[in-house]
Amino acid sequence: MSEATLILVKPDGVARGLTGEILRRIEAKGYVVTGLRMLEADRELLAAHYAEHEGKPFYEPLIEFMSSGPTVAIRAEGHRVIEGFRSLAGTTDPSTAAPGTIRGDLGRDWGLKVQQNLVHGSDSVESAERELGLWFS
């Protein structure tokens, strides 16, 4: 049984020219890219995407960061792709992410208000459906 997930190459990944490497790793893992678009996310889209974080101290810096440049939205499919991509991405903190993961190999802590950690991946089937509906409507 195949599932779909949303993967975002965040503005820091796009600005550093890592989109191709991230796509390469997704495809090398055996997942299929079935949707791809680059866009400048507006506040409305980001507010809907990060609604569960509204009111938290990092919310505004996160919205500011995510609207600071282009984002690449990827729809990827495959067996257990949600769990598999999150493992491929590595832990949220790039300083402690394992070598071999996207964040472990390519990310670092820049000492900023919000963690710039290159990628986002949906955390559940329900989140993936909601997020794919927002980014690929």
pLDDT tens for 31-72 read 999 999 999 999 999 999 999 999 999 999 999 999 999 999
Q: Which pLDDT does position 113 carry in this prediction?
A: 84
**What is the reported pLDDT for 71?**
98
Judge contact between 122 and 52, C-beta under 8 A.
no
> C-alpha 13: how far from its chain's center?
10
Please state, for a pLDDT cut of 90, what percent of the chain lies above it. 95
pLDDT band for position 114 (cuts 50, 70, 90)? confident
CB count within 10 Å of CB 136 equals 15
Q: Residue 30 pLDDT > 90, yes or no?
A: yes
Superfamily of domain 3-135: Nucleoside diphosphate kinase-like domain (3.30.70.141)
Query: String of b and e for 29-40 (b: at least 16 CB within 10 Å)?
Result: eebeeeeeeeee
Question: Between these two residues, 1 and 26, which has the higher pLDDT value?
Answer: 26
Question: Torsions phi, psi of 34, nearest 5?
Answer: -110, 0
The confidence band for 115, taking pLDDT boundaries of 50, 70 and 90, is confident
Distance from C-alpha of 15 to C-alpha of 2, rounded to nearest angstrom: 32
- Would you say residue 23 has pLDDT above 90? yes
Annotated active-site residue 49? The verdict is no
Please compute the mean of the pLDDT values over residues 124-128 and round it to a whole number. Answer: 97
Q: Is the pLDDT reported for residue 112 higher than 90?
A: no
Q: List the chain domain ranges.
A: 3-135
